[in-house]
Amino acid sequence: MGKERWSQRAVCCLLLMALMARNHAAVVDVKTKGAKGDGKTNDGPAIVDAWKAACAGPPPSSVLFPPGIYMAFPPIDLMGPCKGPIEFKATGATIKAPPELAKFKTDAWIWFTKVDSLTMTGGTYDGQGQETWKNNKCSTSGTCSLPSTIKLSFVKNALVKDVTSANAKFFHMFIVDCENTRLDHVTIDAPGNSVNTDGIHVGRVSGVNITDTNIKTGDDCISFGDGSKNVHVERVTCGPGHGISIGSLGRYPNEAPVAGIWIKNCTFTGTLNGVRIKTWPGGTPGTASDMHFDDIIMTNVGTPILIDQLYCPYSPCQKGPSKVKISNVSFRKIRGSSSTKIAIRLACSPGLPCDNVEVADINLTFKGPGGPATSECSSVKPKVVGQVVPPACPGGPK
């Protein structure tokens, strides 16, 4: 009996200590650091001060935004490491960037870096990018130096949930050099004429899950740069936008392989492209493998299924075939309507033909001039499974 009583007391003490530790966790209200939340005052310094206090405080800590409109001039650099898990909670709040591009000196507005166990909950982040879109020269210069709204770099074990990004100047969310990142119930909201505003861009990441997300923007809804590995996207709606794209790849030296991308149960409406893989002609060597697109609905989508190894949106283009090897790709259960006559286009590299490409159970229609829908293939012999409409490369690859 004595041992049992001692054990019960020990458990009670441990529970009490855990409760006391939680009660002493740092919860820092940005208004205690001087934020006004009036939509006029620059609350950026107060937000950074609140982050520093929470990051250095006893975990699990949090930065709390009461409801209001917070004007936040950059830089909003939220750096770790912190003492433990930390939450950035803005439910009911709107955080606004200054509209003037000249106020930005870095490539991000809200920038989390070197944090382990980050939770970002709620809030609307308004990039106020309308003037930037008007003056965007990326399409003619081929280079961009613009700020993303939310950037995560060298972050581990992150959860971004119930967050809205509106009117970004550049990418809405930029996730790079991260491990184990989950985005759930995220909303991306920008008009179709918002130039270069990728919804979610990931690169050099391992383990990303994007679920139950609604994306309306002026560029790729989701884009994958080099080094993207083990990424799952499910129940995402896309449109307006340019679709979901792997790449572009093969433009820069020493690009890391792309491997393990699963896009499932998504819906595209009125997008410029559907699901696509794009690499530059000429360029640098690389690989992209194990990419799978499954159970997708297309409504009035330009070229719903696309591999483009001649991607070059601005001149001059490099000469020669792409040096990125594409292999182990599947397009399955994709149905709906194409806004262009070519519903399936598999344009692979003549220098490195695509290997093991499967097209299965496809039903895509086109009702415009010159219909019905057709397909084109080059440097690939796709494996056709089940009924595929339009027939995938009935005359064989060119």
Assess contact for 274 and 306: CB atoms under 8 A: yes
Assess contact for 99 and 131: CB atoms under 8 A: yes
CA 288/CA 226 separation, integer angstroms? 9
* CATH class given for the domain over 27-188: mainly beta
For residue 193, CA distances in Å to 169, 197, 240 come to 12, 9, 9
Specify the DSSP class assigned to residue 317. Answer: P
Assess contact for 76 and 35: CB atoms under 8 A: no
CA 304/CA 50 separation, integer angstroms? 46
Helices (H), the chain: 2-23, 44-56, 130-134, 138-141
Which of 213, 79, 86 shows the shortest CA–CA distance to 152?
A: 79
272: which 2 tokens? 């410029």
Q: Which residues are catalytic?
A: 219, 242
What share of residues in the chain are helix, strand, coil (percent, to 5)?
15, 45, 40
Per-residue pLDDT in tens (0 to 9) along the chain, 398 residues: 444 454 555 444 444 344 444 457 899 999 999 999 999 999 999 999 999 999 999 999 999 999 999 999 999 999 999 999 999 999 999 999 999 999 999 999 999 999 999 999 999 999 999 999 998 877 666 667 899 999 999 999 999 999 999 999 999 999 999 999 999 999 999 999 999 999 999 999 999 999 999 999 999 999 999 999 999 999 999 999 999 999 999 999 999 999 999 999 999 999 999 999 999 999 999 999 999 999 999 999 999 999 999 999 887 888 899 999 999 999 999 999 999 999 999 999 999 999 999 999 999 999 999 889 999 999 999 999 999 999 998 766 66
